[in-house]
Chains A and B, each alone.
Chain A
């Protein structure tokens, strides 16, 4: 019997415990490889890199014009703040858009092009599939953050002459902010066979998650208002309690106002990471509950 025939006639074996982890990891790597080739994602990434690069170069050119003037120190500081403000905002916004877009599309696109049928007809549990997809999304988000943050890190280091370590902490917190955003967008994507609705929902989560302080404000102001205003206030209070506060994860003010190598607020970082992991776990569990009995 030839090797080929032996392989063809090999007995079908059961699944090994190792496969419980290999399956999701295989799906995660496949998802990552596919995601980094998506035109929309590549477009956002290039745009963000252009913004970071452009802001740094343009303000450097402005800096050269002002060298020699008596008031150079003032504008120099302002320009540095401007660069930091633009670049951190760009990383945050483009990072969020990429996170939403990828999280919203990985499952619906596989339903649409029927790849999911070939995967779930194999010895892959729905939970394993979801874990693989979710991990694949996080790998993609992480890669984007590394690229965007890395470019800005180098530019800022070159400009300031010292490693901007605070930026690394900001990137870390941004990743955990995006983890929450991704988990809930991913959960909504499991209800849909199109990525449009989950993308809109993801944007809604991002915007409201960054505006939860306003919800608190609304609820306080409504305390002594009319009954209608009180009702709105109660609703705002409920939303404030339920929704994750994404603004907590922002170190933008610390970066813009302080020195680039200032120590981060160490006391809140572990809390924020746990906060993110709890919300992300809730989001992921929600996606599993939705997907478990989903008719494909």
Chain B
């Protein structure tokens, strides 16, 4: 595996024009994206995700730091641009154009023409599953269809790297699944994908590695398997009455999905599992099953971002 995107101490500061406070959008951000992986770039709103992406694309300029893409620091060179496909969040495509006309326009910007262009349009339109609607005007497209055409325009030059900003936001579950499948297929074909998203479940399902950033700072960086470890044990119980449930909570156990005497009891990190089982039994519950439970990406995100947010509030106080 080789490094396709490398950032080193990437910093972006927006200076205030009238003596106000400078905005530090990105603070010494360093990360790498390896070839053939899906890299999830996560963070709450205003954390610096889009700023990073815009810098990678040469749309805005770093205050300091380095960017290397495919080994080159000249990230706006035609060679690099030919190898990057970009899908911005909520991009607009003119209503008066047909799906394939949009792709023709973007293909021409890559210098494609004639049979090459037609073949590429056929290939990407088929890849994103839009062959049936290629001649339809954009105004007749659903949000999911527009997003698929957006993905197709990012793929029109057959780039090695795809940078996608919120590719599934606002889509219904079926459209989300379809886009996710396309992205997984692209990864399997050897493309490198960098995805910025709020849809944590989607990212967890398809990403190899993730970074979580908060207020321009890298908080967590690593593979999904490294970061989402088995942190808890869950005990499924039955025959649990109300006083019994209260007793469990008093002894430090957390109940989930409690209904009709059934419940999932989360054993917190640090508590002995046998001790937890004994507490359940003493509360009158019957043990159904005991299983380790992996932390979800959403829980990791909330823990990391929530922790950073609390630390900031405490510092301010």
Contacts and interface: CB of A to CB of B under 8 A. Distances in A.
Interface of A: 3-10, 12-16, 18-19, 22-23, 26-27, 30, 33-34, 37, 113-115, 117-124, 293, 295-296
Contact of B78 (A15, A117, A121): A15
A296 B109 contact: no
B123 A37 contact: no
Contacts, number: 109
Contacts of A16: 111
Interface of B: 54, 57-61, 78-79, 81-84, 86-94, 96, 105-106, 108-111, 113, 119-120, 122-124, 126-127, 150, 153-154, 157-160, 189
B109 A23 contact: yes
A8 B111 contact: no
Contacts of B127: 8
Ranked 5 nearest A-B pairs via Cβ:
A113-B92, A19-B111, A15-B78, A121-B86, A7-B123
Contacts of B154: 118
A13 B60 contact: no
Contact of A122 (B93, B94, B106, B158): B106
Contact of A37 (B83, B89, B96, B160): B96
B111 A123 contact: yes
A124 B96 CA distance: 23
B82 A13 contact: yes
B86 A118 contact: yes
Contact of A26 (B87, B93, B109, B153): B109
Contacts of B108: 22-23, 26
A7 B153 CA distance: 15
B158 A117 contact: no
Contacts of A113: 91-92
Contact of B111 (A5, A22, A118): A22
Given A8-B123, A30-B105, 10 more contacts: A4-B123, A10-B120, A12-B83, A22-B111, A22-B113, A115-B91, A117-B88, A118-B87, A121-B84, A293-B61
A137 B59 CA distance: 23
